[in-house]
Every structure is written in C-alpha cells, then in structure tokens.
A and B are shown apart, each in its own frame.
Chain A
C-alpha cells in the first residue's frame, strides 16, 4: 500500500469586509470552505497567500491582545472545558485565562445566566449536560470575557426546537446589547433569515454572493413564484404558463422565469377571472437548496 496526497485549495477567492456590530451569515454547501475561512479568521490556520485583518490584527500571529477579543464557538464542540468540571468552574477558569476583573465577571455572569437560563446548569458537570445545555454553557463560557468578534460555526446544529429558539434569541440579544461583530455559519436558513441582514455565500472556496437576503434570492434564482387563484369554475392548463409547483383546478403555484412574469401575468388576467394573484421570490430554503446542488451559475 502506498499513500498518495493531493493538494486542495479549500479557500481561494474570498474577499470581504465586516463592519463593527454586523451580524453576517456565512453560508455554503458542505466542503465549500466555511469552517476553513473561520479558522483562518480566528488564527487557527495560516493561508498560503492573501491578507487577513481582524480588529486590525493578523489572526495567525495569535497576539494576546487579539485572542482576548475574539471567540470561536463550534456547534459540534461548543464547550472545551473538561467534562468533570462544573459549568461555573469552566466560567471561573475563563475569568482567570482572560483576566476578567471580578466585578465585570460577576456582572457578565449574571447577565448571561439571565439570557441563557443558566442557573440550573451552573453547578452541573459539563459531561452531564445535553447538547442544548452544552451549547448554552459554551456560549456563556466563550462570552464571559465579552469578545468583540464572534465566529459561530453552526451554533444550532443538532439542537431541538426549544434550544434552537433560545440560541437564536440569545445571539440576537447579545449582538444588540454588546455591539459585537458576528460571523455565523449555518445550514439552517432560518438561523440566517432571523439573525443576519447580510449574507456571504461561498462555494468551492470562492465567494459567490455578498449582500442582503432579498438580493440573494434575486441574484441566485432566475425564477419568481406566481400564486394564482381563479373564480367561476374555470379549468386552467397551468402547465402552459410555467413549471407547476402545485395546483388544484382553481389555484396554482407556478415557477416562472423572472423576465416572463409580466407577460404571463397579463395572459392570465386576460384569459381568466383571476380572484387572487401574487408574485413572490421563491423560498430562500429552496433557492439555497438548488444552489447547493447545482452550484452558482
């Protein structure tokens, strides 16, 4: 047997700037380069080429002043503390490592306890926590020193509905209250839709989109969704007007190319007694699904 190695450029054409206080979604299919980019931004990886500055520092130099102002939380491993210690032990250890003054620590702890409902968890051993509880504890231990920049790598992965809701509410509140800059990766578009006004889409190591969510749908999907209802018992051959997503005798959802929407609308209004008609962007989830499967055109 002989080992063979091949070189893969995990991230090759990614350039963006984040403003202070922004909460930005960083999305892309599996293997697109999201986590690699986060590792570069946090200083774990050193790219062969290119420039990166976070808070004015070059991340991979891992200067103390830089490391004290950032945090990276991974949904797959939200808390790095030994499992035998309690959550409060883990937080006190962070206080020591990050030199958080006692008054500030007490204040932050109280605030995080309130926002994350931590009280029942503080005295429990980390190893005894469920995944959702681990994420809450991981957020608290990572934020008790008030980092200015937060890298969240799939923070809601594997969580139940209640825990997902709590984590989302917490991230939104934390960003609002502290003005921290947050870069968040997630495969759940609901996370991105609820938390981020701006989205970065990466695919095959290159940045494909940088803008708001509405624009994402417009840019990535050449189609609109026409929802039409007709009255008077008319029977319509919906297939004539576009790709039928779903249809009954008197109503349908049709996928129509953006440029053809005015024509199709005019034809429908002229031919049938239309009771209701709306033109919508397709659901983000389906646009992203198509992009992930087929790539960005």
Chain B
C-alpha cells in the first residue's frame, strides 16, 4: 500500500504545483491539440466519404491529451541540474516522482483540453457510442503507460549524454509519423500497414482512438491489445534495465 500512497502524494503535489502555471499549461494543451486538429482538417477534406476519419481525429485529440508526457523535459532537467541527487536519497523508487508528475500533468491537460475536445466534436459533428468508448478505456490506460515508459527511457539517456533533448525529440517525431497523428494507420500504403500496426507508436496513441471511433473489427481490437501487451512486456524490463545501468554510471562518475 505504500507505493500507491507515495505515488498519489507525488501526483497531488505536482497537481498543486502546476496550478501556478495555468497559463503555461494552456499553451502546452494548445500545442498538443494542434497536430490532431490539423489532421482532422486535412484528412476530413482529403477523404470526405470517410465519416470515421473525423471521429478518429477527435478521439485522437482526447488520447493525445491524456497520454502526454513531459518527462523528456522534467527528467532530463533533474539529471542535468543535480535534482537527481535529492531523488536518490528518498526512500522509495525514483520513478514514482516523474510518474506522479506525469499523472498530474495529464489530468491538467484533460481538464483544460475538454472544451477543445467538445468544440472539435461539435464542429466536426461526431459522436461516440458508449460501447466503443468503454472498449477503448483499457487501451487508453495501456497507451498512457507505454507513452510514459517510452519517454522515460529516452529521457534517461541524459545519464549518458548531454544530447538527450535530441533523442527525446526524435522519439516524438516517430510517434507523430507512425503513431497515427500524421496519418491514420488505416490509410498507410498497404505494404506498410502491418508494420504500422505492430510498432509501439500506434500502441501509444492511435490504437485507443481507433477503437473509440468504431473503425476496428473485434479481431483487430484483440490484435491491437496483443501488441500493447507485448510492448508493455518489453518496455517495463527495458526501463528497469536502462535505469539500473544509468544510475550505476551516474553513481560511479557523479552528476
């Protein structure tokens, strides 16, 4: 019971901390909303006979806001500025701090982003069935976890290099290109589609939106959950491995 209590403590603390940055949060939310909204505008014009495309992008907007990860900044800065020293002295796993902050930031993004989601849905004239939304919720939670782990692993590269910003930025670009933002996986050229479906980027972002928009068959939903489970089974030990190797290096040579 201690770990959930400490994690909740970090999430509450970060939530309170971010109340001081509401205006900045608004700009972050707008930044996050831009690409799905652009996708909505471009793809609904390009494929006017595909009503599912608008629903998909509105769902993607919600998923993007609820899976956003700021660890590329917060974790790397704590490493570069020496805050990690304090984290290492706390009697709990260090990951609880960034994870708690991630939860808080996502709640803030959702709260501030709700009017944008509602406005986009109304403007595009889309609606969701409760069945599809319920089916998408586990996928959303898995996507949020994968997204956190992915960015956390990339951000830990700051333990080796001063160029961690470039690495996390590259990761963000891959998610944009292959996660279903630049184009839905469904409109990828046929020979690339299986690859798009299998890569972790869709599991982090596009997959829950696809379920919520009702564009997937049951078989494809099951396959998507399979990919999410697989990537989770890989990311968790990978994050543990990277952390343990990184912290071994950090404690050997200093911050």
B91–A67 touching, CB < 8 Å: yes
Q: Select A45's contact among B16, B17, B254, beta carbons within 8 Å.
A: B254
Mark A85-103 against chain B: 1 for CB-CB distance below 8 A, else 0. 1000100010011110000
| Chain B residues with CB under 8 A of A44 | 85, 88-89, 251, 255
Q: Select B85's contact among A39, A70, A85, A97, beta carbons within 8 Å.
A: A39
Q: Select A67's contact among B89, B248, B255, beta carbons within 8 Å.
A: B89
B254–A96 touching, CB < 8 Å: no
Mark B165-199 against chain A: 1 for CB-CB distance below 8 A, else 0. 00000000000000000000000000000000000
| Chain A residues with CB under 8 A of B92 | 64, 97
B9–A43 touching, CB < 8 Å: no
Q: How many A residues are at the interface, by size bracket?
A: 20 to 34
Cα distance A42–B88 in the bound complex, in angstroms: 9
Residue B46 lies at the interface, judged by CB distance under 8 Å to chain A? no
Cα distance A62–B84 in the bound complex, in angstroms: 14
- A-B CB contacts (within 8 Å), total count: 60
B13–A93 touching, CB < 8 Å: yes
Mark B10-29 against chain A: 1 for CB-CB distance below 8 A, else 0. 00011011011100000000
Cα distance A44–B16 in the bound complex, in angstroms: 29
A84–B252 touching, CB < 8 Å: no
Q: Select B16's contact among A84, A97, A98, beta carbons within 8 Å.
A: A84
Residue A36 lies at the interface, judged by CB distance under 8 Å to chain B? yes
A89–B13 touching, CB < 8 Å: yes
B252–A97 touching, CB < 8 Å: no
The residues in A between 259 and 295 inclusive whose CB is less than 8 angstroms from any CB of B are none
Residue A80 lies at the interface, judged by CB distance under 8 Å to chain B? yes
Mark A16-60 against chain B: 1 for CB-CB distance below 8 A, else 0. 000000000000000000001001001111101000000000001
Cα distance A218–B20 in the bound complex, in angstroms: 56
Mark A64-79 against chain B: 1 for CB-CB distance below 8 A, else 0. 1001101110000100
- Majority secondary structure, B binding face: helix
| Chain A residues with CB under 8 A of B91 | 64, 67-68, 97-98
Cα distance A50–B152 in the bound complex, in angstroms: 33
A84–B88 touching, CB < 8 Å: no
Mark B102-134 against chain A: 1 for CB-CB distance below 8 A, else 0. 000000000000000000000000000000000
Residue B219 lies at the interface, judged by CB distance under 8 Å to chain A? no
Residue A82 lies at the interface, judged by CB distance under 8 Å to chain B? yes
Q: Select A85's contact among B17, B82, B86, B88, beta carbons within 8 Å.
A: B17
Chain B min CB distance to A244 (Å): 46
Chain B min CB distance to A10 (Å): 8
| Chain A residues with CB under 8 A of B51 | none
Q: Select B83's contact among A39, A43, A80, beta carbons within 8 Å.
A: A80
A85–B13 touching, CB < 8 Å: yes
In the complex, the chain B residue whose C-beta lies closest to that of A93 is B13
Mark B76-88 against chain A: 1 for CB-CB distance below 8 A, else 0. 0000001101101
Q: Select A84's contact among B6, B17, B90, beta carbons within 8 Å.
A: B17
A45–B89 touching, CB < 8 Å: no
Q: Select B2's contact among A48, A62, A77, A99, beta carbons within 8 Å.
A: A99
B2–A45 touching, CB < 8 Å: no
Chain B min CB distance to A147 (Å): 10
B88–A96 touching, CB < 8 Å: no
Chain A min CB distance to B160 (Å): 13
Known: A72-B89, A97-B92. Is A46-B17 also a contact (CB below 8 A)? Answer: no
In the complex, the chain B residue whose C-beta lies closest to that of A90 is B13
A67–B90 touching, CB < 8 Å: yes
Cα distance A68–B255 in the bound complex, in angstroms: 22
A77–B82 touching, CB < 8 Å: yes
Q: Select A43's contact among B17, B86, B88, beta carbons within 8 Å.
A: B88
In the complex, the chain A residue whose C-beta lies closest to that of B248 is A46
B251–A85 touching, CB < 8 Å: no
| Chain B residues with CB under 8 A of A62 | 88-89
B5–A60 touching, CB < 8 Å: no
Cα distance A270–B107 in the bound complex, in angstroms: 88
| Chain B residues with CB under 8 A of A39 | 85, 254
A36–B13 touching, CB < 8 Å: no
In the complex, the chain B residue whose C-beta lies closest to that of A142 is B89
**New contact pairs (12) apart from A62-B89, A84-B16, A97-B91, CB-CB < 8 Å:** A44-B85, A44-B251, A45-B251, A46-B252, A62-B88, A64-B92, A70-B89, A84-B17, A84-B19, A85-B13, A85-B17, A97-B6
User: Could you write out 9 A-B pairs with CB less than 8 Å apart?
Assistant: A44-B88, A46-B251, A62-B89, A72-B89, A77-B86, A84-B17, A84-B19, A96-B5, A97-B9
B: residues with CB less than 8 A from A are: 2, 5-6, 9, 13-14, 16-17, 19-21, 82-83, 85-86, 88-92, 248, 251-252, 254-255
Report the 6 A-B pairs with minimum CB-CB distance, sorted nearest first.
Answer: A67-B91, A80-B86, A84-B20, A46-B251, A64-B91, A96-B9
